[in-house]
Amino acid sequence: MTILFVDADACPVKDEAVRVGERHKVEIKFVSNSWMRLPEGDLIERVVVPEGPDEADNWIAERAKEGDVVVTADVPLAARCVKAGALVIGPTGKPFREDGIGMRLAMRDLNTHLRETGEIREGGPSFTKADRSRFLNQLETIMRAARRISGAK
C-alpha cells in the first residue's frame, strides 16, 4: 500500500500534498523536527522526530520503500529514497530519478561550496504559482504510478 511521506520542515506544498493524497486514499505522513499546524484528516499523521541534523530525513529514508511517494527538496534524502525504490518529487514538481540523482547531488555540493566561499550569495529562485501548479500535476502522475507499483486499484 502506497504511503505519501512529506518532509514537512519548510515544505510549501503541504495542502497540495493532502489534496492529492486524500484523492488517492493513501496514508500521508508529515515528518518534521517540531510541531506545526497541519491539515486534519483521517489519513494524515503528524510525526515529530527529535531535534537534530537529519533526524526527519533518517526517519523517512528508513521507512520509504518501493511504491511509496516522498515529497522533499532535500537532495541527499531524495537520493536515499530513490535508492530504496520510492518515487520522489520536489516541491517545484521536479521528480528525482535514479539516472539524474548523481548530477543533482554534485550540483548541490558545488552550490554549497560556492556559497561558503562567497562566490554566490542567493539561495536559489523563489517559489512561484507555476511551481505549485507543476507540483500538483506531477504529484498526481507520480501517485498513479506509485499505486500501480504497490498493486493498489
pTM: 0.86
Amino acid at 92: T
pLDDT tens for 128-148 read 999 999 999 999 999 999 999
Average pLDDT over residues 5-29: 95
As a whole number of angstroms, the distance between CA 41 and CA 57 comes to 23
**For the chain, what is the radius of gyration of the CA atoms?**
15
Q: How far apart are CA 121 and CA 117, in angstroms?
A: 9
- What's the CA gap between 23 and 134, in Å, rounded? 17
4 — phi, psi (to 5°)? -100, 110
d(CA 143, CA 149): 10
Kindly indicate the confidence band of residue 109, based on its pLDDT and cuts at 50, 70 and 90. low
Domains detected in the chain:
3-150 (3.40.50)
